Amino acid sequence: MKLEGREITTGLKFPEGPIAMADGSVLVVEIAGGTLMRVGSDGRKQVVAKLGGGPNGAAIGPDGKCYVCNNGGFNWMQERDGFMRPAGRATEYDGGRIERVDLKTGAIEMLYTHCDGESLKGPNDIVFDSKGGFWFTDHGKTYGRVMDRGAVYYARTDGSLIKEAIFPVITPNGVGLSPDGRTLYVSETETSRVWSFPIIGEGEVGKEPWPSPGGGKLLHGLPGYQRFDSMAVEANGNICVATLVRGGISVFSPNGDLVEFHEAPEGYCTNICFGGDQMRTAFITLSGYGRLIAVDWPRPGMPLHDPLTARG
């Protein structure tokens, strides 16, 4: 089925990390623009903060501030028709980090740049749990002939704890939680695989034995050349994964079955979040052409553990 939606705005510089806010606006990051942007329901755009680097994923924390995964930046290629795509680690790359933004003032705080002496390479996506901590993926970077091996981390908002929970992961991108908070989902870009992990403690997951490469249980792997980006979870537990190349949203049941595919109008369909009346609106970023669209979704999304976001 095709995504039939309303264009909220266009002209964004590779948007990602949508957050549906209770006032009807949507926060997005611009990876190529280096900003955190608020898009009103009327499509008007307002820069909340100029972060630089490559802000990639975002979520509202228990303190009402916005926590941003900053991948440090990409180089970019732009086609004649305006289509943009990332092209490896930025020449001016200055490291990955987790940043915190005060939505009222735009003030930016650096929260984490390292874990146990290892620098963050390319933080990508983030989700908060019911205890106020957050999981985030580090996609790594590709530069020349080298590709970093990625990881999944857990951290507290007060700066007192960051721990590596899963390593290695091949280009980890989306991260999400089951409705009961007991299962962590991680999508890998280049393998088009979704993995699940039982959560057994703060920042700790149970792991499958070898030959699982990172300890995950394989939920689903798509055939052919497709690539996975970020994700959101429905109230019934379905996992909705933005799918690149083919372009759209792949929906998987908690058991790993492919429920349906929603075809997008471009290949860089990068992220999805839920909001609106009864959480039945999906806000989707179409990054290549810089669009944010709203789609009536067939089922309600799962409310997040974010105090300022739309809950229906």
Q: What DSSP line would sit under 77-112, residue for residue?
A: EE-TTS-EEEEEE-TT----EEEEE-TTT--EEEEE
Q: What domains, with CATH codes, occur in the chain?
A: 11-223 (2.120.10.30)
Q: What is the pLDDT of residues 144-170, one digit of tens each?
A: 999 999 999 999 999 999 999 999 999
Whether pLDDT at 131 is above 80: yes
Q: How confident is the model at residue 25 (pLDDT cuts 50, 70, 90)?
A: very high
pLDDT score for 307: 74
Alpha carbon separation from 221 to 67, 94, 176, 229, 252 (Å, rounded) = 30, 33, 17, 13, 10
Q: Is the pLDDT of residue 306 over 80?
A: no
pTM for this prediction: 0.97
Going by pLDDT thresholds of 50, 70 and 90, the confidence category of residue 311 is: low
Q: Bridge partners of 197?
A: 184
Q: Report pLDDT digits (tens) over 92-104.
A: 999 999 999 999 9
Mean pLDDT of 19-36: 97
Is the torsion defined by CA of 258, 260, 264, 266 positive or negative? positive
Res. 312: pLDDT tops 60: no
Would you place residue 308 in the very low, low, confident or very high pLDDT band (cuts 50, 70, 90)?
confident
